[in-house]
Chains A and B, each alone.
Chain A
């Protein structure tokens, strides 16, 4: 019996990856493969690609299934605006990722770097699987080096691989560092008081602090479990506009946490559940270096 619709075995993880290639034909082949995989997982696809790549994709993938957009649009709007547009392609009620293909036209290298760093942050906060197609022959060497340093994941021979050349992401330009520390995972009550005090200094009121501390407590435990019980877990706290963002770092990579999917790694289960308790707190796992960063964000009270 033949069935249609998403392949229940397929799964599309949020990711910010770079697919290096040489020439339009190879870019088209990679784009077509990624489109097929996304569609098999039931994810909508938005492709900001040049005409040559568009033709290859059209030849291999049902035309109506992919929403094509102008590559130039990638230069005209900030990433948060683009991300909102991409997420609108999800069908009503769906919470799985949107697959996005980006073939960014060459422009100012600093702007390109900022866009890549902001995309990594966006992928941590919203269900997006973003693939940047970078022509390693046509792009300038410093552009290729920048792309190597800013994408957490590389697409190589049909596989996602952690990027060994990833440079630690600088804080987004609109963030204001508040504090950083290394917490002892064996003193959870002390750690919770530390979080409470720092969050109070950051201006969070008590009920919201309680909600955030629950997730951060579980994040420190999860990070320690992933790292094999280290003496210290690095943490950071900063303002991002009106929101307060806390980060808990682990040296080991971990799966991305999707609200709709129970994590396969049991060490992440309690953290994942904690992330579902409060609608005002968002949780994401973002690749960072060879490890990961749990991003716990409290939205300002008037936006929840």
Chain B
């Protein structure tokens, strides 16, 4: 997302919120920007965990008034002060997002004005079930661009999306979720001679049965590459790969390094 944009996105689940807003925050931190968040409430722990998994904050990190990611009160009148303050500290740009309730977004007017005069990038996340009839059309007119948050599968617990490199698995996947397992296997490309690649950095839970099924079905030649797997997920898939002859799983870090089993 380029600097200075005022975009919006329609979300179908909390998992989608953590992923899309999380990506927005991670991108900002990596660009050296200050990220202001508001209205997250109980979503904070999940989002902070997302930032920790992405490696943009330390394991013991908590937001404060001096960290790059800050929580600001849900008061549109005070937002310009926080934005100007961050820029005065030397941040090259500021990002703003959070979580929105039902009805009109009280920040729309102020962020539209701010984005016109300072390097402010805004993502307004709307939950689909809170939109009222006709609201989408007015939101489209008030924003620069609608971010596509379409998922191949999203049941609120497990979310599957496509990326340029392959698939992205997020949330929790257990063997009782047959629809999700089918969705993963259906979306995994076959026959192009390259290993399937799954980004599992945001896969917070994978049970033994689900992992066993996925390794058995998707790790056949030319193999399966898992990117960003937690230590637990890595150990689990390595253990299960030994149960299935001919299956190969490479566990790669986001920087491309990794090991094969």
Contact = CB atoms under 8 A, between A and B. Distances in A.
Interface in B204-234: 204-205, 207-209, 212, 230-232
A207 B208 CA distance: 17
B207 A273 contact: no
B209 A207 contact: no
Interface stretch (B77-85, B103-111, B189-197, B235-243): B235-243
A278 B157 CA distance: 24
Interface stretch (B36-44, B123-131, B140-148, B172-180): B172-180
Contact of B230 (A189, A210, A217, A274): A210
Given A188-B174, A214-B207, A214-B208, 11 more contacts: A188-B176, A188-B207, A192-B205, A217-B174, A221-B176, A270-B175, A270-B208, A273-B240, A274-B208, A277-B239, A278-B235
A213 interface: yes
Contacts of A217: 174, 205, 207
Contact of B232 (A188, A271, A273, A277): A277
Given A276-B239, A277-B239, A207 B212 contact: no
B207 A218 contact: yes
A207 B232 contact: yes
Contacts of A207: 231-232
Interface residues of B toward A: which range?
A: 10 to 19
A211 interface: yes
A192 B232 contact: no
Nearest to A190: B157
6 contacts: A189-B174, A206-B49, A221-B175, A270-B208, A277-B235, A277-B239
Interface in B144-200: 157, 172, 174-176
A214 B174 contact: no
A189 B232 contact: no
A212 B207 CA distance: 12
Contacts of B212: 270, 273
Interface in A179-234: 188-189, 192, 206-207, 210-211, 213-214, 217-218, 221
B207 A189 contact: no
A278 B231 CA distance: 10
Given A207-B231, A207-B232, A214 B239 contact: no
Interface residues of A, number: 19
B236 A214 contact: yes
Interface of B: 49, 157, 172, 174-176, 204-205, 207-209, 212, 230-232, 235-236, 239-240
Contact of A270 (B205, B209, B235): B209
Contacts of B204: 210
A175 B192 CA distance: 57
Contacts of A211: 232
Given A207-B231, A214-B236, A278-B235, A189 B208 contact: no
Nearest to B237: A277
Nearest to B243: A273
A45 to B, nearest CB: 33
Contacts of A271: 208
Contacts of A218: 207-208
B175 A278 contact: no
Nearest to A193: B172
A278 B232 contact: yes
A276 B211 CA distance: 14
Contacts of A270: 175, 207-209, 212
Nearest to B172: A189
Most buried by A among B49, B174, B175, B207: B207
Nearest to B171: A189
A125 to B, nearest CB: 22
B205 A214 contact: yes
Nearest to A276: B239
A289 B228 CA distance: 45
Interface string A267-304: 00011011011100000000000000000000000000
A187 B80 CA distance: 45
Contacts of B172: 189, 192
Contacts of B236: 214, 277
The 3 closest A-B pairs by CB, nearest first: A270-B208, A273-B208, A274-B208
Contacts of B209: 221, 270
Nearest to A274: B208
Contact of A213 (B49, B175, B205, B230): B205
B31 to A, nearest CB: 27
Contact of B239 (A192, A210, A213, A273): A273
